[in-house]
A = this chain, B = another copy of it.
Amino acid sequence: MSDKSGAKKIVTAAVVVIGDEILSGRTQDKNMAWIAVRLNEIGVQLREVRVVPDIEAEIVAAVNALRAKFDYVFTTGGIGPTHDDITADSIAAAFDVGIDFHPEAMALLTRHYETSGIEFNDARKRMARIPDGASLINNPVSKAPGFCIENVYVMAGVPTIMQAMFEEIAPTLHGGPKMLSRTIGAGLPEGRVAEKLGALQKAYPDVSMGSYPYFRQGEVGTNLVLRSTEKADLDAAFGELVEYLKGEGVHVVETT
């Protein structure tokens, strides 16, 4: 995306993870990190995630807050055949539009269940209910489609299905400048590099610098992550940091 001056605009996104199973701790969410990495690859920066329960008012509030604030919103979960799958109704409520059986979704599910000899019962027909004005997202894994309405993309919660749906929509997303990153693994506690890092951050405002301590088998170290959309600045800041650490006699490794 470009603004009128031709400068590339930063493109942002949020994720809404819908599901009691994540909030109960029963299921460890694996979608958030996967979506973050894939979005970054196409020049979209994930800026916020909300995990909400299977309660319509909560889903509506999260989706409406985030779709107004970010370029894209992706939801995961709650589009299956059971009574607790209320995402489609919640999205219709968020956009204040109707919801009905979508002819294309009905057709593809009818075909799927006929072919597989499985009864296309009322519960399964629920998966063809799509908010008015939405377009379908193909589901190459288990057929029941996701959908997209304005800047909101509604996907399944099962990781393999969510990933397949994401790949269907990825070519249609418009990214901005890609966030580049370089990481240094440094054999020192972060308190020893903090002041230098703070000074470097001031010198390179376009480079976001993060410090993440680790403790492995009694060894203390810090991963220093530099991120920027500007490659020259990133490389310069990175070079300066490495030089400083080497001057201090610290063992450094560039990692990914």
Contacts and interface: CB of A to CB of B under 8 A. Distances in A.
Interface of A: 17, 19-30, 32-37, 40, 45-54, 58, 80-85, 118-119, 121-124, 126, 158, 160, 179, 181, 183, 189-195, 197-198, 201, 208-215, 225, 227
21 contacts: A17-B49, A20-B208, A21-B212, A23-B49, A25-B34, A25-B35, A25-B40, A28-B30, A29-B33, A48-B52, A50-B50, A54-B210, A80-B194, A80-B211, A82-B190, A82-B197, A82-B211, A121-B192, A123-B191, A123-B198, A160-B215
Contacts of A50: 48-51
A190 B24 contact: no
- Ranked 7 nearest A-B pairs via Cβ: A25-B36, A123-B194, A25-B37, A83-B198, A49-B51, A82-B211, A124-B191
A210 B125 CA distance: 18
Contacts of A126: 194
B47 A53 contact: yes
Nearest to A227: B24
Contacts of A26: 181, 183, 225
B84 A189 contact: no
Contact of A191 (B22, B35, B121): B121
Summarize A's interface: helix, strand, loop or mixed.
mixed
Given A26-B183, A84-B209, 14 more contacts: A20-B208, A20-B210, A24-B225, A25-B32, A28-B33, A49-B50, A80-B213, A81-B190, A82-B194, A82-B211, A83-B197, A122-B195, A124-B194, A126-B194
A181 to B, nearest CB: 7
A179 B53 CA distance: 15
Nearest to A37: B25
